[in-house]
């Protein structure tokens, strides 16, 4: 975060204070400081594991045991991880303004564990299971390589795979259309439909603040872009908010 960025904090805080309906769209970057690898970028998961091949209904049909083992591996990493100061800062923002809503692409559940309550999990939650035959949801993960529903169907993680519809997208679009302030945090801004949400918000007059390590397609429409770690920048914003 540069000196120039620091000068922008009071303006961001002022806008946040005046906002009736502030929102944050988050991506894998907000959980990076919790030790969960992002999908893209230098330490991206994609490099080693090619999820484009594993995170699909087709892969699950052909190799359910490999897909489940990959998710169980990720579950183990995530269950050992803890929310970081970025997650806690967002939970604090909801205490400041109870309308504050998080739309997350993350399946790690860390916003909820940090105490945020208004959270739309666009891509599901890795710790739930869903029956691939009858769609019944199980709230506890099963770590067996193959696991079955009472109906006999194979269980899969309750996450959105490539090519599957994002069922909560309409709710998220409504939030984006109503909000007057949007943080866009730790997302490469290239995976649809989530990547369109800041554009809906901007077109409806929301103030857009991006927080990322580097420029993204969202930088073009952001009123302010802060480049650095969200776990360092967000607590500064909250401190500023509380002090002023």
Q: Which residues bind ligand OAD (CB under 6 A)?
A: 27-29, 32-33, 38-41, 44, 55, 105, 123, 160, 186-188, 191, 211-214, 216, 229-231
Residue 123 annotated as catalytic? yes
Cβ proximity to ligand OAD: between 76 and 151 the closer is: 76
Q: What sections of the chain are H helices per DSSP?
A: 3-18, 29-32, 45-49, 51-54, 57-62, 64-80, 85-96, 110-113, 169-178, 197-203, 230-243
Which residue sits closest to ligand OAD, CB atoms considered?
Answer: 29
| Opening angle at CA 15, ends 22 and 169, nearest 5 | 25
CB 166 within 8 A of CB 122: yes
Q: Using CB atoms within 10 A of its CB, is residue 222 exposed (0-12), middle (13-18) or buried (19+)?
A: buried
Cβ proximity to ligand OAD: between 141 and 231 the closer is: 231
Interacting residues of 116 by C-beta distance below 8 A, sequence separation 6+: 87, 90, 91, 94, 102
Minimal distance, residue 150 CB to ligand OAD, in Å: 27
Cβ proximity to ligand OAD: between 32 and 155 the closer is: 32
Minimal distance, residue 229 CB to ligand OAD, in Å: 4
Cβ proximity to ligand OAD: between 103 and 154 the closer is: 103
Minimal distance, residue 65 CB to ligand OAD, in Å: 20
Catalytic residue among 63, 111, 123, 223: 123
**For strand 155-159 and strand 124-131, is the pairing parallel, antiparallel, or unpaired?**
antiparallel
Catalytic residue set = 123
């Amino acid at each position: 975060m540069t000196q120039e960025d620091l000068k922008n904090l009071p303006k961001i805080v002022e806008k946040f204070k005046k906002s009736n309906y502030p929102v944050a769209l988050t991506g894998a970057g907000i959980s990076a400081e919790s030790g969960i690898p992002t999908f893209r970028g230098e330490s991206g998961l994609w490099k080693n594991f090619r999820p484009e091949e594993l995170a699909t209904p087709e892969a699950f049909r052909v190799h359910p045991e490999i897909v489940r083992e990959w998710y169980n591996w990720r579950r183990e990493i995530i269950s050992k991880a803890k929310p970081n100061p970025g997650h806690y800062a967002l939970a604090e923002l909801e205490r400041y303004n109870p309308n504050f809503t998080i739309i997350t692409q993350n399946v790690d559940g860390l916003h909820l564990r940090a105490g945020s309550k208004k959270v739309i999990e666009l891509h599901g939650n890795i710790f739930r299971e869903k029956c691939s035959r009858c769609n019944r949801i199980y709230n506890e993960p099963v770590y067996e390589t193959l696991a079955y529903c009472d109906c006999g169907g194979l269980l899969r993680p309750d996450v959105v795979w490539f090519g599957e519809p994002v069922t909560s997208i309409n709710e998220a679009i409504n939030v984006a259309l109503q909000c007057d302030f949007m943080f866009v945090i730790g997302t490469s801004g290239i995976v649809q439909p989530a990547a369109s949400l800041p554009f809906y918000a901007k077109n409806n007059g929301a103030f857009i603040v991006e927080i990322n390590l580097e420029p993204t397609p969202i930088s073009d429409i952001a009123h302010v872009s802060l480049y650095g770690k969200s776990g360092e920048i967000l607590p500064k914003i909250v401190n500023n908010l509380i002090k002023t």
